[in-house]
C-alpha cells in the first residue's frame, strides 16, 4: 500500500498549521507532513519548483498551498493516482480550464465548502485528461514527476504526455485559489487544436451553468448535499401511492446518505417508456432518459437500462441499491456490484396483478393457475398483453437473482413474508427481515397535538379512509358498500386520486381527491 505525504507549500518550519491543513492531518491518511516554505513566484514554474523541494523518498503526495482554501473533498481524488495517472487536480479558479464557473472574471461568492456541496448534485463524475498542470493543489506521483527534467511546467506536462502518462482534472472536488497569481493563459501555450477544444467545448459546461447561477445568487446548498458522496439509489415507479410515501419517509429519515430515486415512467400497459432520476422526494428530475423499446412489465435484460445504470454510477458514488419495485425496470439492476436491499411492498413480479388475490387471497400459483388468472381475474389490469411464458421466465430469473445477488430482503409484516414464501417456494428459505411500517416523529407529534372532540354515545362514529381508491385498490368494492356504511357512520375519504369511482353525494360523506401530508393531523 502506498504511503501518502502531505506537502504544504508556503508553510514555514515554525508556522502554525492553518485549520484547513490541520483537518487534512487529522484524517491520519498521511504518513508524513513536508513544509515547502517558499511559494514559487512564477506561475509557470510552480510545480517544477515544488518538486525540486521534495526528497527523493516521497512517492505519492497531496500538494496544498496555504493561500488556497482546501476542504476534505480533495481527498476523493487520491484514488485516481495509478501507474498511468501521475497528477489528479481539483476544480479551481485561477486556471481557465479548471474553472467551475462560466465567466473568466466571475468572483466566487460561495464558500469553497458550499461549492463542493453543490458539486455533490451537479458533478458529472467523470475525470477529464488535461495537457497541462492546471492548478496549485493536487495529488501527484512525485517519483514519476521528479524523474523528468523540465525547464518549466509546460515542458513538464508535455514530457508527462510523451511518456504515455496522464494529468487528470476531476469535478469531485473544488479548491478556492483566488488568492494565488493568475495562471499563464493557454492560448499560445498549447497547440491551437488543443486550446480551442478546451476553451470552446469544455467537458464541464453542463455543471458550469448551474454553479454560476447558484454562485451569483449566493445560494446555500441544502443540508442533504453536505452528506458527502455516499448515495443510495432507490428503484421505484412513477405511480406514487404508498410506495412513493415509503421512499419519501426513508429518504427523510436517513441523514447519513444522499438518496436518489430512479423512477420508471409509463402507463399500466407499458411499465416504462422513460426513466427519471430524482434527488430524494424532489418532483423535478435531475435527469431523464427515453427508451427506444419500452419495458412492458419487467425486462429480463436491457442494453438501454444497463447504460442508464452505468451513467448513474459514473456520476454518483452509489453505495447501495434499495429495490422497491421491478415494474418498468430490468433484472440487470441485480448485477450491480454493491449491496442490494429488496423490499417486498407487494407480490410483484411473482403476481402480475400485484396483490395475489383472485376472489380470495392466493396461497399458491403455478403456471396453470397463472394462465387462468390472467384471463379471468378482473384485478389484472396491468402490462397490456404480456404473455404467460414471459412471466414464468421472469419468475425463474427473479428467484435466481434474489438468491444469488440480494444482500437482504425486508417485508413490512409477518403475513407478507409468509405469503411470499407460500407463493414462491424456492424463496422459502431465503432470510427475510420484518420491519413494520411507522410514522415519522414529526407526524406522531402533530397527531398528539390535535385532540378530536369526544361525542356522546348517540353520535355516529367517524370513519376516515386514506389513500388512492382505484379499482385495484378496492375503490369499486367501497362504492358498493358505501350506502350501507352511511347508515351507521360518517365517512371521509382522503386522497382518493383521479381514478376513484364517483360516489353519490351524501351529507355524511366527504371526499377529497388530494391532500397535503402536513395537513393530515388537522
Instruction: Say yes or no to pLDDT of 122 above 50.
Output: yes
Percent of the chain with pLDDT over 90: 50
pLDDT in the model for residue 146: 94
Work out whether strand 489-494 and strand 509-512 pair parallel, antiparallel, or are unpaired: parallel
At 145, the pLDDT band (50, 70, 90 cuts) reads: very high
At 332, the pLDDT band (50, 70, 90 cuts) reads: very high
pLDDT in the model for residue 28: 84
At 318, the pLDDT band (50, 70, 90 cuts) reads: confident
- Intervals of CATH 3.90.550 along the chain: 4-223
pLDDT in the model for residue 218: 93
Averaged pLDDT for residues 170-187: 89
Main-chain dihedrals φ then ψ at residue 30, nearest 5 degrees: -105, 135
pLDDT in the model for residue 216: 93
> Which three cell numbers, joined as nine digits, stand for 317?
458514488
How far is the C-alpha of 98 from the C-alpha of 189, rounded, in Å? 16
pLDDT in the model for residue 425: 92
Averaged pLDDT for residues 367-376: 92
Averaged pLDDT for residues 357-372: 91
Averaged pLDDT for residues 304-323: 86
Instruction: Say yes or no to pLDDT of 43 above 90.
Output: no
At 456, the pLDDT band (50, 70, 90 cuts) reads: low
pLDDT in the model for residue 458: 66
Statement: the pTM of the whole predicted model exceeds 0.85: no
> Which three cell numbers, joined as nine digits, stand for 182?
493568475
Instruction: Say yes or no to pLDDT of 142 above 90.
Output: yes
Query: What is the DSSP code string of 215-262?
Result: HHHTPPPPGGGGG-SEEEEEEEES--HHHHHHHHHHHHH--SSEEEEE
Instruction: Say yes or no to pLDDT of 421 above 70.
Output: yes
Residues 6 or more apart in contact with residue 189 via CB below 8 angstroms: 132, 154, 195
pLDDT in tens, 252-286: 888 767 889 999 998 878 889 999 999 888 888 88
In angstroms, how far apart are the furthest CA atoms of the chain?
97
Averaged pLDDT for residues 103-124: 88
pLDDT in the model for residue 369: 94
Q: For residue 256, which of 232, 275, 290 has the smallest C-alpha distance?
A: 232
At 121, the pLDDT band (50, 70, 90 cuts) reads: confident
How far is the C-alpha of 331 from the C-alpha of 402, rounded, in Å? 10
- SS (HEC) of 78-105: HHHCCCCEEEEEEECCCCCCCCCCCCCC
How far is the C-alpha of 198 from the C-alpha of 203, rounded, in Å? 8
Instruction: Say yes or no to pLDDT of 334 above 50.
Output: yes
- Give the three-class secondary structure for 264: strand
pLDDT in the model for residue 301: 93
At 455, the pLDDT band (50, 70, 90 cuts) reads: low
Instruction: Say yes or no to pLDDT of 224 above 70.
Output: no
pLDDT in the model for residue 195: 73
Query: Sign of dihedral through CA atoms 221, 223, 227, 229?
Result: negative
Averaged pLDDT for residues 474-503: 87
Instruction: Say yes or no to pLDDT of 451 above 70.
Output: no
Grid-cell match 435466481, residue found: 400
Q: Hey, what CATH topology would domain 4-223 get?
A: Spore Coat Polysaccharide Biosynthesis Protein SpsA; Chain A (3.90.550)
Averaged pLDDT for residues 185-213: 78
Lowest mean pLDDT among 10-24, 359-373, 444-458: 444-458
Higher pLDDT, 227 or 292: 292
pLDDT in the model for residue 253: 82
pLDDT in the model for residue 1: 39
Beta bridge partners of 64: 8
- Average pLDDT over the chain, rounded to whole? 87
pLDDT in the model for residue 400: 93
At 515, the pLDDT band (50, 70, 90 cuts) reads: confident
Q: Residues for the chain: how many in total?
A: 522
pLDDT in the model for residue 204: 82
Amino acid at each position: 500500500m502506498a504511503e501518502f505525504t502531505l506537502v504544504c507549500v508556503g508553510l514555514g518550519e515554525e508556522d502554525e498549521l492553518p485549520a484547513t491543513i490541520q483537518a487534512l492531518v487529522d484524517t491520519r491518511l498521511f504518513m508524513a507532513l513536508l513544509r515547502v516554505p517558499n511559494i514559487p513566484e512564477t506561475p509557470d514554474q510552480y510545480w517544477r519548483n515544488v518538486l525540486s523541494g521534495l526528497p527523493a523518498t516521497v512517492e505519492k503526495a497531496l500538494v496544498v498551498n496555504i493561500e488556497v482554501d482546501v476542504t476534505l473533498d480533495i481527498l476523493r481524488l487520491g484514488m485516481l493516482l495509478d501507474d498511468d495517472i501521475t497528477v489528479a487536480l481539483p476544480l479551481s479558479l485561477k486556471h481557465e480550464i479548471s474553472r467551475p464557473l462560466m465567466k473568466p472574471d466571475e468572483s466566487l461568492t460561495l464558500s469553497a465548502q458550499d461549492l463542493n456541496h453543490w458539486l455533490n448534485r451537479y458533478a458529472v463524475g467523470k475525470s477529464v485528461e488535461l495537457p497541462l498542470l492546471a492548478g496549485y493543489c493536487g495529488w501527484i506521483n512525485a517519483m514519476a514527476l521528479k524523474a523528468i527534467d523540465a525547464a518549466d511546467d509546460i515542458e513538464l506536462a508535455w514530457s508527462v504526455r510523451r511518456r504515455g502518462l496522464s494529468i487528470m482534472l476531476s469535478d469531485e472536488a473544488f479548491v478556492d485559489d483566488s488568492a494565488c497569481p493568475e495562471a499563464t493563459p493557454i492560448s499560445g501555450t498549447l497547440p491551437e487544436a488543443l486550446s480551442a477544444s478546451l476553451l470552446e467545448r469544455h467537458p464541464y459546461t453542463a455543471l458550469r451553468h448551474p454553479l454560476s447561477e447558484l454562485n451569483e445568487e449566493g445560494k446555500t446548498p441544502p443540508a442533504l448535499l453536505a452528506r458527502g458522496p455516499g448515495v443510495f439509489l432507490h428503484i421505484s415507479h412513477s405511480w406514487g401511492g404508498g410506495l412513493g410515501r415509503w421512499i419519501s419517509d426513508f429518504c427523510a429519515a436517513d441523514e447519513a446518505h444522499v438518496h436518489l430515486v430512479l423512477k420508471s415512467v409509463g402507463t399500466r400497459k407499458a411499465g416504462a417508456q422513460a426513466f427519471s432520476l430524482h434527488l430524494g422526494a424532489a418532483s423535478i428530475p435531475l435527469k431523464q432518459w427515453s427508451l427506444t423499446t419500452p419495458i412492458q412489465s419487467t425486462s429480463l435484460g436491457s442494453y438501454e437500462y444497463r447504460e442508464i445504470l452505468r451513467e448513474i454510477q459514473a456520476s454518483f458514488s452509489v453505495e447501495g441499491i434499495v429495490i422497491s419495485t421491478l415494474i418498468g425496470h430490468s433484472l440487470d439492476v441485480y448485477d450491480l456490484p454493491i449491496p442490494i436491499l429488496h423490499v417486498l411492498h407487494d407480490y410483484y413480479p411473482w403476481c402480475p396483478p400485484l396483490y395475489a388475490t383472485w376472489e380470495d387471497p392466493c396461497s399458491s400459483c403455478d403456471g396453470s393457475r397463472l394462465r387462468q388468472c390472467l384471463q379471468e381475474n378482473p384485478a389484472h389490469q396491468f402490462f397490456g398483453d404480456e404473455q404467460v411464458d414471459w412471466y414464468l421466465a421472469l419468475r425463474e430469473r427473479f428467484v435466481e437473482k434474489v438468491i444469488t445477488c440480494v444482500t437482504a430482503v425486508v417485508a413490512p409484516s409477518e403475513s407478507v413474508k409468509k405469503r411470499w414464501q407460500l407463493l414462491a417456494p424456492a424463496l422459502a428459505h431465503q432470510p427475510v427481515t420484518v420491519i413494520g411500517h411507522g410514522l415519522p416523529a414529526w407526524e406522531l407529534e402533530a397527531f398528539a397535538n390535535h385532540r378530536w372532540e369526544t361525542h356522546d354515545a348517540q353520535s355516529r362514529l367517524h370513519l376516515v379512509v386514506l389513500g388512492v381508491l382505484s379499482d385495484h385498490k378496492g375503490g369499486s368494492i367501497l362504492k358498493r358498500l358505501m350506502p350501507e356504511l352511511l347508515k351507521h357512520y360518517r365517512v371521509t375519504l382522503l386522497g382518493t386520486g383521479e381514478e376513484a369511482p364517483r360516489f353519490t353525494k351524501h351529507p355524511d360523506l366527504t371526499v377529497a381527491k388530494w391532500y397535503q401530508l402536513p395537513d393530515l393531523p388537522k
